[in-house]
Homo-oligomer: A and B are copies of this chain.
Amino acid sequence: MNLFILRHGLAVEHGAPGCSDDASRPLTAEGKSKLREIAHAMEKLDLGLDLILSSPFKRARQTAEITAEELDLVKKLELSDALTPHGTAKDLIRIINQLKPPPENILLVGHEPYLSNLISLLVSGGRDFSVVLKKGGLAKLSLENLRHGRCASLEWLLTPKQMTLIEG
């Protein structure tokens, strides 16, 4: 199984008009436009996604929606509270392991520091591993059996700028 881990794009600041709480902050116009480029890079990288699982928070959901549209995967998009900033890796792993049929290539869309803690957990078994995941950054983890502990290898980690260069 491969886990692709994408942090949401540039969002409006806390307290902006129309954003009553953290969950309702949308992407900025620039954030949306950059994400389209990032999705094109994902197309070039040929990830073979069979599921997109996203935090329901607006900035993450919009990130997942743009990606799904550009990759023609709108029907493969699902939301999970386990990916919100208050979710737990334990719940997320349980949910993924219950999917039938088991997916081969999943894209997870969410927040920091949740996602880099998840990467650290899966590639090192703890929280000691320090990884930088920028907004719009994408990582690939490969693994045999997903579990709450060291079970994966980090295959690559791309910054949004590098994704834009790949998109060309």
Contact = CB atoms under 8 A, between A and B. Distances in A.
Contacts of A145: none
Contact of A153 (B124, B126, B131, B152): B131
A18 to B, nearest CB: 34
A166 B162 contact: yes
A132 B155 contact: yes
Given A128-B126, A130-B150, A165-B44, A158 B158 contact: yes
Copies in the complex: 2
Main secondary structure of the interface of A (DSSP, over half): mixed
A92 interface: no
Contacts of A130: 123-124, 150, 152-154
Contact of A131 (B120, B123, B162): B123
Interface residues of A, number: 26
A161 to B, nearest CB: 9
A157 interface: yes
A19 interface: no
Given A159-B155, A162-B166, A166-B166, A150 B123 contact: no
Contacts of A153: 130-132
Contact of A129 (B45, B124, B142, B158): B124
A15 interface: no
